[in-house]
Amino acid sequence: MPVPPRGLPAAVVRYGLECVLKQADVDQATVPTSASSWLVAVRAAESKKATDIRVLDLTGITSFADYFVICTGANQRQIQAIGDEVNLRMKRQAGELPLSVEGYTQAEWVLADYGDLLVHIFSPKARQYYDLERLWRSARTVEIPPEPGSSDAG
């Protein structure tokens, strides 16, 4: 990568996308952590009535992601609505856009890639067939905290 002229900020490259950092304060955490990002995705899926929501912690198991959020939608419209809501909330609350989204049109298995977070939205049939929880059984299942103000007794 060429060296920027004196006085200009250096560029950071991530997955082939280039961003210019104008100022960074390492003492102030302004970028959400992966943990808060997965929780934003979970709350978005919950708001669209996704079922069987699971979060897998893949830290140290794979190099391409730290967390999987896996959930199920009842039909194509609901699967797309869950994907839309996840995208909207990740943008607004976590400041993140997906690097790619696959399967949205067919809506059997929608995969949204947020770098260290992968969101999988399945139809019931595809969820059973691919069985990611079995495939990644060495991953730790993350406990999803109850939503503040909810009266979920478990």
Question: Which H helix or E strand runs over 51?
Answer: strand 51-57
Residue 7 lies in a domain: no
Residue 26 lies in a domain: no
Residue 114 lies in a domain: yes
Residue 22 lies in a domain: no
Residue 60 lies in a domain: yes
pLDDT of residue 26: 41
DSSP label at 8? S
User: CATH number, domain at 117?
Assistant: 3.30.460.10
pLDDT of residue 2: 55
Residue 107 lies in a domain: yes
State both tokens at 131.
Answer: 């069985």
Confidence of residue 17 (pLDDT cuts 50, 70, 90): very low
Identity at 77, one-letter amino acid code? R
Residue 126 lies in a domain: yes
What is the pLDDT averaged over residues 39-45?
A: 97
Residue 45 lies in a domain: yes
19-28, 32-41, 140-149: which is most confident: 140-149
pLDDT of residue 92: 94
137 vs 5, residue with greater confidence: 137
Question: 93 by DSSP, 3-state: which?
Answer: helix
Backbone angles phi, psi at 97, to 5 degrees: -110, 150
Q: Has residue 12 got a pLDDT over 60?
A: no
Smallest CA-to-CA distance from 7 within 25, 20, 26 is with: 20
pLDDT digits (tens, 9 = 90+) for 55-89: 999 998 988 999 999 999 999 999 999 999 999 99
How many domains in the chain?
1
Host domain of residue 69: 34-141
pLDDT digits (tens, 9 = 90+) for 131-151: 999 999 999 999 999 887 766
